[in-house]
Amino acid sequence: MIRNHSWTFYIVLLHLIIIPLVPLKGYLGPIPISAEIFLIPLLTVVAIVEYLTKRIELNETKAKWFAILFAAHFVAMVISLTQAVAIMPGLLEMARYLSYAFLFLIIFKVKFTQGEYKIFGLTFISVIAFMGLYGLFQFATDYNLNKAGLYALTEAWGRVPSTMINPNYYGGFVNIIIPGLLLLAVVYFKNRLTQIIFFILFGVFVLNQILTYTRSAWVIMALSIIMASLMMPKRFYKNLFKVHMIIASAVLVLVIFSMPDVQNRSTSAIFVVQSFLPFEIISEEGPVSSSDPDDEDDGGGNAQDLEENKDTTNRAVVSRTTLWKTGWVMYKENPVLGLGIGNYNERYKEYVTKYPELNVGHDLYSVHNSYLKVASETGTIGIVSFLAIYLYFYIYLGKQYFRNRDNRLKQVLLLGLFIGSGTYFGQNLANNLIFIPQLNIMFWMISAIILSYATTRQFKS
């Protein structure tokens, strides 16, 4: 039974289970030790051996441009290393990058059977269902919650990270999968029970996203749901406005608005968006106060609470934009080659000492923007080659979507990935998610499996 499948298949399956569920990480000297350190090299070696011994086949999909673009950015990394003050962080960053590239290319190119793709799908759904339920359990029992950022919350007692250590990382992962779950529930499945099951799973992750209390993730989640509804509007709204789906949607909305700090944090999220716009969404004066003094504190909606919320949010925005300015200054002073891959942290203290206005009170602080991190470390050559990978990724996704017009499942998966990857790229404007191994591996693995499935015309027998 076991030998009916290749070892490559089993190792990919292990990735789908272990990477999202086992966030443990240790160090052997300066070298990080975690699951992917063993799994990705193992997959690479086994795939090469099984290809040479004809245990696996490669599909007909062309991966040349992906390989070229991955290689081009790696060359930019190598060149930038000549500017580095610390070599080891750069070498580790390059090793991680190569592992993502190898993982994606191997899964993308290996031909799997239709049954194996089904096993991938069922395994992934089972794993994320566990993650979502575990996140709700964490909040309900106050178990292993992240307590950072609670100064801005009045009712919540912690932020949910599920199995991803940090709520910001988990929020990024949730937004990758939410569009696909919604489209599967509303557009693809026709059986009512299956629709409800997948809509419940979608709802579980909406609630998990709320419980991360990550403002940027909330905004992007809302945008992704709107996009999902507009990409296939006829099918989407035809199925959504059925009695069982209307009831399920109403229940989800009621649960969301009964959760702690939803109104307070939503207002804060709007203030974040408003700070980058030339007009106001919420007036500084706030809503007109009730004449009843007992209503003053109801929901935190009076003018004083609104002003306090805005002040707290503005301080957070100023801190974040100061970090972005730090990355920008590093890039401006090293525009061609950057200051060396992996060396942002090594040079941070030097720059905030040189420019005191960039100091936010820490000896070391992340830039909170993946693109500025890449630009500051690898210069114009690096950021251009880096963005080229994602530009081609999007172009390729679009081509496959239109080539699979006669296959609804492939279209739904590709559209879910298109929107989900957009949320991922968007959240990297406010966080360094691309540099979080657990999350980035999940992104490239999900992408590779969906693209491999969508581009396979004749499945392995």
pLDDT digits (tens, 9 = 90+) for 170-219: 999 999 999 999 999 999 999 999 999 999 999 999 999 999 999 899 99
- Residue whose C-alpha is closest to residue 434's, from 448, 444, 419: 444
What does the pLDDT read at residue 265?
82
**C-alpha–C-alpha distance, residues 201 and 214, integer Å:** 20
- Please report which confidence band the pLDDT of residue 360 belongs to, taking 50, 70 and 90 as the band edges: confident
**C-alpha–C-alpha distance, residues 307 and 310, integer Å:** 5
pLDDT tens-digit series, residues 133-173: 999 999 999 999 998 877 667 888 999 999 998 999 999 99
Tokens of 20: 């999202």
Any residues with CB less than 8 A from the CB of 136 and at least 6 apart, and which? Answer: 160, 204, 207, 208, 211
- Averaged over 15-22, what is the pLDDT? 96
- Please report which confidence band the pLDDT of residue 263 belongs to, taking 50, 70 and 90 as the band edges: confident
- Please report which confidence band the pLDDT of residue 296 belongs to, taking 50, 70 and 90 as the band edges: very low
**C-alpha–C-alpha distance, residues 194 and 131, integer Å:** 20
Q: How many CB atoms lie within 10 A of CB 349?
A: 14
Length of the chain, please?
461
If you average pLDDT over every residue of the chain, what do you get?
90
**Cα-Cα-Cα-Cα dihedral sign, residues 339, 344, 345, 351:** positive
What does the pLDDT read at residue 317?
81
**C-alpha–C-alpha distance, residues 255 and 283, integer Å:** 28
| Per-residue DSSP letter, 26 | E
What does the pLDDT read at residue 290?
43
Judge whether residue 287 has pLDDT over 60.
no
Judge whether residue 358 has pLDDT over 60.
yes
What is the 3 state secondary structure string of 343-386?
Answer: CHHHHHHHHHHHCHHHCCCCCCCCCCCHHHHHHHHHHHHHHHHH
Are the C-beta atoms of 427 and 1 separated by less than 8 Å? no
What does the pLDDT read at residue 307?
75
What does the pLDDT read at residue 310?
72
Tokens of 422: 């957009």
What does the pLDDT read at residue 281?
66
Judge whether residue 115 has pLDDT over 80.
yes
Listed range (179-188, 359-368, 411-420, 452-461) with the worst mean pLDDT: 452-461
- Averaged over 374-394, what is the pLDDT? 98
pLDDT above 70 coverage of the chain, percent: 92
| Per-residue DSSP letter, 275 | T
Judge whether residue 438 has pLDDT over 60.
yes
Judge whether residue 293 has pLDDT over 70.
no
Are the C-beta atoms of 180 and 413 separated by less than 8 Å? yes
Check residues 288 and 340 and name the one with the higher pLDDT. 340
Q: Are strands 31-34 and 25-28 parallel, antiparallel or unpaired?
A: antiparallel
Q: Hey, where are the domains in the chain?
A: 2-265+365-455
- Averaged over 354-381, what is the pLDDT? 94
Judge whether residue 294 has pLDDT over 60.
no
- Please report which confidence band the pLDDT of residue 300 belongs to, taking 50, 70 and 90 as the band edges: very low
